[in-house]
Structures are given as C-alpha cells and as structure tokens.
Amino acid sequence: MPDTTVQHGDSLPREGALQESENVTHIFIHRNCAQPRFAIVIEQVQRCAAFKAAICLADPHDRGPRTQLNLGHTFAHALESAAGFALPHGRAVALGLLAALRLSGLADQVRMVEDVLSPEPVSVDKEVAWAAIARDKKAERGAPRLVLLDAPGKPRWGVELPDADVRRALDQLIA
C-alpha cells in the first residue's frame, strides 16, 4: 500500500483517540518509533472502533453524544466538497483536526497532529469551502455547529463560534 494511503488512513484512529482518551500520547506515536508499525496501527484501529461502536450503540439516532464522532469533520467535508471529492477523506480529516484543535486552544495536540500526520494545506476555492460549511449536517440556520475539545477526552459538540473565527480556521487549511 502506498505510504500516502497509509498516512491518510492514520487520521481516523487518531481522531477517535482525541475524543476518547485524556492521555492521547500513546496514539500519536511518531512514525519513526522502534515498535513495528503494523502492531501500532492494529491497536489504534481496535481502540478507535470499540470507542466509536460504544458511542453509536448509545446514540443510534445521532441526536446527542454520537455527534462527537464528527471532530474535525465539518472542516473535512467542506474541503472535500470544495475539492470536488478528489481529496482523500483521511487527508481532509487530518486538516479538519487541525482546525478543531486550534479552535479548542489545544496547542500540544495541534503539534502532535502536525508532527505525525503532516497535513498540508489544500488548493481549493475558499468561498466554495465556506459555503459547504454552512450546509454541514450539524449547521443550524446556516451557522456551523462544531465539535471541539475542552481537553483530550473531553469533547463538546454543538459549539457555535463567531463566523470570523471559523472562517479563519478554514482559511488556514487552504493553500
């Protein structure tokens, strides 16, 4: 499997770890560590899947806690839409995580995402991406409702921020 495909897939278990655990350092193991990569990925995927399954079972109609599984996805889906869906989902989620973590004020986690996932800004139309945010499934009356973290393992959903803050976070993801 190409390294870029693996890197894009790395975003999703890490996104789950940020929601699930107060101690996320274990899931952001640097790609140059001595432990075999396959073993690390299997553990990450198992933990993430178990966490997400428990949330989905507790909220099967996506009306409460299940919303937290969208951490970073408001931005990710906007970038995917603006890219004509040519942007790999994992790459979009890595960028979306950056935006959500920046808006959450979690500088240490931002650095971990940058170090491990190395997301690069994408070349898309900012206005098209902004319009997609307003259409997000969590938006209310065109205003985005975000999933942010008070701290690792402490998600908060339905967060409304000033448009200027959300727009600035989106613009940082675009080349």
Alpha-carbon radius of gyration of the chain: 15
Q: Is the pLDDT of residue 84 over 70?
A: yes
For residue 29, is pLDDT > 50? no
What CATH number did the domain enclosing 20 receive? 1.20.1090.10
Token pair in block for residue 157: 């959903």
Strands (DSSP E) contained in 32-170 are 146-151, 154-159
Token look-up 């319009």 returns 131
Indicate if the pLDDT at residue 22 is higher than 60.
Answer: no
Q: What is the mean pLDDT of residues 87-116?
A: 95
With 0-12 / 13-18 / 19 or more C-beta atoms within 10 angstroms meaning exposed / middle / buried, residue 51 is middle
Residue 140 DSSP label: B
pLDDT in tens, 104-133: 999 999 999 999 889 999 999 999 999 999
Burial of 23 (0-12, 13-18, 19+ CB in 10 A): exposed
pLDDT at position 76 is 96
Is residue 14 within 8 Å of 113, Cβ to Cβ?
yes
Structural domain count, the chain? 1
Could you read off the pLDDT of 39-75 as tens digits, one per residue? 777 887 888 888 889 999 999 998 889 888 889 999 9
Backbone angles phi, psi at 4, to 5 degrees: -65, -35
Q: Is the pLDDT of residue 4 over 70?
A: no
pLDDT at 16 over 80: no
Range of the domain at 23: 3-171
